[in-house]
């Protein structure tokens, strides 16, 4: 298995532009997570899905952020409009179903820079 796949790996955009980050989870994993990592705030959970259904989006910073999971093998995180403070590394992770004791497998991340 190739592991969790994210694209693009790097994104540089200008303030006000729309940004779409993509994630392909490990096949067979029922949970998908989107995290944001910054030096100041560490690893923050933005939203997670179970069987393609959003379960908790309380970590999404504001309405400019949205996430979808149209099928079991694909998810997107969209920022519209983007702002410089959105600059961060965004990780997608997936996990198999279970009793909460399961490892989360992280993708390589997307480094977003908003100028």
Which residues sit at the interface with another protein, rule CB under 8 A?
31, 33, 42-43, 45, 48, 50, 56, 91, 95, 97-104, 106-109
At its nearest, how many Å lie between another protein and the CB of residue 16? 28
Q: Which of 39, 22, 19 is nearest to 113 (CA)?
A: 19
Q: Which of 67, 68, 62 is nearest to 81 (CA)?
A: 62
At its nearest, how many Å lie between another protein and the CB of residue 58? 8
Q: Which of 112, 114, 113 is nearest to 6 (CA)?
A: 112
At its nearest, how many Å lie between another protein and the CB of residue 28? 14
4/114 with CB nearer another protein: 4
109/112 with CB nearer another protein: 109
46/79 with CB nearer another protein: 46
């Amino acid at each position: 298995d190739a592991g969790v796949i994210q694209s693009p790996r790097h994104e540089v955009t200008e303030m006000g532009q729309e940004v779409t980050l993509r994630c392909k989870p490990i096949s067979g994993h029922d949970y998908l997570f989107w995290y944001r990592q910054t030096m100041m705030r560490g690893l923050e959970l933005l939203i997670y899905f179970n069987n393609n259904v959003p379960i908790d989006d309380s970590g999404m910073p504001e309405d400019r952020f949205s996430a979808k999971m149209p099928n079991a093998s694909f998810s997107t995180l969209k920022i519209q409009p983007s702002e410089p403070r959105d600059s961060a590394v965004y990780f997608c992770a997936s996990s198999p179903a279970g009793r909460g004791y399961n490892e989360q497998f992280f993708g390589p991340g997307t480094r977003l820079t908003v100028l």
